[in-house]
Amino acid sequence: MATLPVILVVSLFVFSLLYIAPGDPALIIAGDQATPEVVERVRHSLGLDKPFLVRFYEWGWNIIRGDLGRSVLSGKPVAELILQRIEPTISLMALTLILSVGIAVPLGVAAAWARGTFFDRFAMIFCVAGFSLPLFVTGYLFAYVFGLKLGWLPVQGYSPLEKGVLPWLRSLILPASALAVVYVALITRITRASMLEVLSRDYIRTARAKGLGSLAILFVHALKNAAIPIITVVGTGVALLIGGSVVAESVFALPGLGRLTIDAILSRDYPVIQGVVLLFSISYVLLNLLVDILYTVFDPRISY
């Protein structure tokens, strides 16, 4: 029930970016050498000569109809620009999510099972280091080692999926791996902590007393009951993917929404900035709604 009000508040904030940004947006876009007539024409095209609520209503109604406005610089529809750039970003985030969950959950489960051992300490050191290193450092390190020195993978550019799965994967494996380091560290720590709590429960001792194997105890009994915190951190951690994709696309020269956002910010293309930020924000809200729904799947006692 709270999803629609949240989306409304997010939309209001995104729209307000045009007004809360420092300086006069019309003057910034027109340039310092622009005549007052040109500045006024830009102000009219942005709707800055209308009352705030009137402009917000018109903007929101256009959004509902699928019209995100037009780029100030290129004159193209913002929706068209987003559609042209969305595949690399979705591909990067999806591959990062698959890598992160596929590595972090088994690693966190194994670290909890081997608590206090060398493997557990090594996993925790990796988590601290992975979460501490800035993404651009990890990205440049991966690009230097695996791209420039070893020559295994390309360090920039994107190959669309329609050109083949292998070229697509080769163009994304380095940025996805660099982006996954932080995400793996976060999910591993939460998985380990949640599993440690579950493994101390009486029903786990009972399962051990019945002679169940370690894999059955860990992945059938323990992991299912430890899933709620893990799902939470996977869902909320999508914000890391959204912010990280901007950095990763810059480091590895991927033509995605992250690059589009940076280019729009540098050129003060406010309609593009608003469109991309709104898309990211609504996607994040909807993903958190999906997380709330998954709670009821893993724990039937939860109801809304």
Per residue in 125-170, pLDDT (tens digit) is 888 888 788 877 888 888 888 878 887 888 888 888 888 888 888 8
Q: What is the pLDDT of residue 120?
A: 83
Task: Map out the domains of the chain as residue ranges.
Answer: 3-64, 85-267
Architecture (CATH level 2) of domain 85-267? Orthogonal Bundle (1.10)
Q: What is the pLDDT of residue 233?
A: 81
Across the range 98-108, mean pLDDT stands at 87
Contact 11, 278 (CB under 8 A): yes
Q: What is the pLDDT of residue 240?
A: 74
Residue in 231, 285, 295, 232 with CA at minimum distance from that of residue 3: 285
The answer on pLDDT for 238 being more than 70 is yes
Indicate the pLDDT class of residue 65, thresholds 50, 70 and 90: confident
Residue range 28-63, pLDDT digits in tens: 666 666 677 777 777 777 676 777 778 888 778 888
Residue 77, classed as helix, strand or coil, is: strand
**CA dist., res. 47 & res. 39, Å (int):** 12
Quote the mean pLDDT of the chain: 79
The answer on pLDDT for 3 being more than 80 is no
Contact 295, 13 (CB under 8 A): no
| Cα dihedral: 196, 202, 207, 211 (round 10) | 100
The answer on pLDDT for 214 being more than 80 is no
Which residues, 6 or more positions from 184, have their beta carbon under 8 angstroms from its beta carbon? Answer: 99, 100, 103, 104, 107, 130
Across the range 76-82, mean pLDDT stands at 86
Indicate the pLDDT class of residue 299, thresholds 50, 70 and 90: low
Across the range 102-123, mean pLDDT stands at 85
CA distances (Å), origin 10, targets 2, 237, 286, 287: 12, 18, 12, 15
215 or 185, higher pLDDT: 185
Residue with tokens 């901007």: 246
The pTM score is 0.80
Q: What is the pLDDT of residue 31?
A: 64
Can you state the angle between helices 238-251 and 227-236, rounded to 10 degrees? 40
Q: What is the pLDDT of residue 79?
A: 86
**CA dist., res. 166 & res. 171, Å (int):** 9
Which residues, 6 or more positions from 155, have their beta carbon under 8 angstroms from its beta carbon? Answer: 143, 147, 148, 174, 252
Tokens of 101: 């969950």
